[in-house]
A and B are shown apart, each in its own frame.
Chain A
Amino acid sequence: MTVPYLGRSVRIVGPVVNVDMNQSPHPKNQRGELGKALFNWYHNSVSKDPLTRVSAPNHFADRRNFIATVINQATTGKVNAKKVPVTDAAAMTRHIKAVARYMGADVVAIARAHPTFMYAGSRYVQDGTAEDAYEESTPEGLVRKFPYIIVATTAWDYDKLQAHRHFIGDAAYHVSQIKGHMILKALEGYIKELGYTALRGVVTPQAAAVASGVGELGRNGLIINKTYGARIHMPDPILTDLPLVSDEPVDIGVEDFCKICRKCAVNCPTNSITFGDKVAFNGVEKYKINWLTCYKLRPYVHDEWTSCLTCATVCPFTKPNTWWRSLAVWALHTCPIPARPLLVRALKAIDDRFWGVVSQKRVRWLDYDTGIKPGERACTVAGCTAAHEADGQSAKVVGDIGYYVPLKENTNRFVKRDG
């Protein structure tokens, strides 16, 4: 089979061994292979934040209050025996995209399936189950039978994301994530009702995302989208035999930007993002993050937040969806490649000037407030006259600075920075 073109950010340069999801971070941790602290965090801890307990995909008081468990552990429906005939694949493609958007997806695209995109071994759905009749199929066999991948996803709320490394940022991430779980489950069910097969837990989302043009792969290891930047989820895509027309990889200048910017590497609290060049890993040329140091931070910050999101927040592509953002992406897209470094330097300077080299914006939402220092308590809700017994002496919040733990200088001590 020919090597698929994945855009300028990722290149297949050698033989690719299909990734076994059972060797990825969460399953490794579930089995206790990442040490006691992480194992305990995954299985035995309960978040002190009520919203995290209903929206985040692991440690809770009661999983029945978590909608993703309900959705991911449900038995999958049967394929309708009465097929809806598809004579025009382009019309069906427009339809399925309209359906995904109607259900609430922010981004939807179609990739042509390729054996290198498939997971090896059994199906994997986080905190759920996925089984189908094709588990014994080889990646090549799967692709022959099911040639298309539907990537549908939701974006995180920009304003709340500014409070990354805080429960407010978690809300932006987790609420759109559980919403995405529901949309994909509904879309999967709808494809089966059309009379076609829809498989889950089979495809590497990142590969499908670059192949379908959802975005390009950044230095931070995240898919960077032309409308939302890095603030989109990469949920489990749908592999299907529904006749569709696939989309192409895009060039929005991520390749040129990441070469120069390094803002995510500077801000990463665990120094898990490389300052260096791309490497060939498992036959794929890309920026390689250190997932282990990234993952290991979690138990230590469990009282303050769940999902770090720093690299996604500080990425200059992650901006509200406004005209000036579209203009900047359009300029990058249309600029001839040799001239792009100049444009990137200019855009990076603007980004540093207006959003700060290190992001420290104070964000308030409901009764959350990032202006309150970690470990302190205060009620900053305007007009509240209720007696809060636990509010101590520290109920003073001044200025516009938000506090996000851990501070970078605290982690520089124990995580070594690479070259």
Chain B
Amino acid sequence: MAFRQGHDDDPYWKFFINTPPVDPANSVTELIRSAPEGNIFPTKAELHTPEITSGHVKEMARYLGADLVGVARLDAKDEQFPFAVVCAQRADYDPRTSPGVGGQVPVQNGLFTTFVLSAWIRELGFRATATANARAEQLAAAAGLGTLDAGGRLVTREFGTRVHVADVILTDLPLAPDG
């Protein structure tokens, strides 16, 4: 999909992209971030092979709105969460420098995807927790979403650096890692 620019004749577009909300309660991103995590369903769902489960998780992520998704294996030491599911959203404006409601839309969409996807994995009966991760871009590269440039930023084949890596989902759902 082409980048949607074409907002030059819109006198309010800059406000939408760049002006941070005065009241954080007007921002959906704050709202989803501060929500408590739900329980793990007491009965584990019957699963298919890890390769097929991976395919299903990725298809679900894309259905929920993720533009890119991959699975990375975490350090063998961490038995609680052997895998990370990494989703990324196309970002026309860099959310790090565009604090407006519009500039944060990729963050909002990423949070929607990771919230529902992690809740779904918990409802399948497995551990899953979606948190902002300092190593998100490294994990995204490990999950095969792209490569890191000299500054440590993720560069993807599809969107270049115009990409926002959403919260990383750590899980013990048996998956087949990419990359």
- Distance in angstroms from A191 CB to nearest chain B CB is 9
The answer to whether B10 and A77 have CB atoms under 8 Å apart is no
- Asked if B38 and A65 make an inter-chain contact with CB atoms under 8 angstroms apart, the answer reads yes
| Residues of chain A within 8 A of B39, CB atoms compared | 61-62, 64-65
Asked, given contacts A98-B7, A189-B27, A192-B26, whether A178 binds B105 with beta carbons under 8 Å apart, the answer is no
Q: How far is the CA of A259 from the CA of B19 in the complex (A)?
A: 51
- Neighbouring B residues of A76 by C-beta, 8 Å: 25
B28:A193 contact, CB within 8 angstroms:
no
Q: Are A61 and B41 in contact (CB under 8 A)?
A: yes
**With a CB–CB cut-off of 8 A, which chain B residues contact A88?**
11
Interface segment, A49-57, A141-149, A305-313, A325-333? A49-57
- B16 close to chain A: CB less than 8 A: yes
Chain B residues within an 8 Å CB radius of A91: 10-12
> Residues of A with Cβ closer than 8 Å to B?
50-51, 53-55, 61-67, 70-71, 74-78, 80-82, 84, 88, 91-92, 94-95, 98-99, 102-104, 157, 171, 175, 178-179, 182, 185-186, 188-190, 192-194, 365-367, 379, 381, 383-386, 388-390
Check A186/B28 contact, CB under 8 A, given A50-B124, A366-B56. yes
Query: Does the CB pair A70–B35 fall under 8 Å?
Result: yes
How many residues of chain B get a CB closer than 8 Å to chain A's CBs?
51
> Min CB distance, B64 to chain A, in Å?
7
Smallest Cβ-Cβ distance to B24: which chain A residue: A77
At the interface with chain A, which of B47-55, B73-81, B148-156? B47-55
B22 cross-chain contacts in A, Cβ below 8 A: 78, 80-82, 193
CB-based contact B36/A381 at 8 Å: no
Q: Are B105 and A103 in contact, with the CB atoms below 8 A?
A: yes
Candidate in B19, B59, B102, B112 with the most chain A CB atoms within 10 angstroms: B112
A262 to B39 CA separation, bound complex (whole angstroms): 45
Please, which residue of chain A has its CB at the minimum distance from the CB of B109?
Answer: A104
Q: Could you write out 21 A-B pairs with CB less than 8 Å apart?
A: A51-B120, A53-B41, A62-B41, A63-B38, A67-B35, A67-B115, A70-B115, A71-B32, A77-B25, A94-B10, A95-B10, A103-B108, A186-B27, A188-B26, A190-B101, A193-B21, A193-B23, A365-B59, A366-B60, A385-B49, A390-B46
B4 at the interface (CB under 8 A from A): yes
Assess whether B3 is interfacial by the CB under 8 Å rule.
no
* A82, B22: Cα distance in complex, Å: 10
Q: Are B26's CB and A65's CB within 8 A?
A: no
Complex CA–CA separation, A208 to B36 (angstroms) = 35
| Complex alpha-carbon distance, A70 and B64, angstroms | 17
- Residues from chain B with a CB closer than 8 A to the CB of A190 are 16, 26, 101
Q: Is B132 an interface residue (CB 8 A)?
A: no
Is the beta-carbon distance between B23 and A80 smaller than 8 angstroms? Answer: yes
Total A-B Cβ pairs within 8 A: 155
B122 adjacent to chain A (CB < 8 Å): yes
- The residue on A at minimum CB distance from B46 is A388
Contact residues, B103-119 vs A (CB, 8 A) = 105, 108-109, 112, 115-116, 119
Please tell me if the beta carbons of A65 and B123 are within 8 angstroms of each other in the complex. Answer: yes
CB-contact partner of B21 in A51, A64, A77, under 8 A: A77
Supposing A53-B123, A190-B16, A384-B49 touch, asked if A185 and B28 sit within 8 A by C-beta, the answer is: yes
- Chain A contacts for B51, CB-based, 8 A: 383
A-B interface, 5 closest residue pairs, ranked by CB to CB distance from nearest: A189-B26, A77-B26, A65-B38, A77-B25, A64-B38
- The smallest C-beta distance from B10 to any residue of chain A, in angstroms, reads 5
Across the interface, do B25 and A99 meet the contact criterion of CB distance under 8 Å? no
Cα distance, A71 to B105, chains bound together (Å): 16
Partner of A84, one of B12, B24, B36, B60: B12
User: How close is B13's CB to chain A, nearest CB, in angstroms?
Assistant: 7
9 further A-B contacts with Cβ under 8 Å, apart from A55-B116, A77-B24, are A77-B25, A94-B10, A175-B64, A189-B28, A192-B26, A366-B56, A367-B52, A383-B51, A384-B49
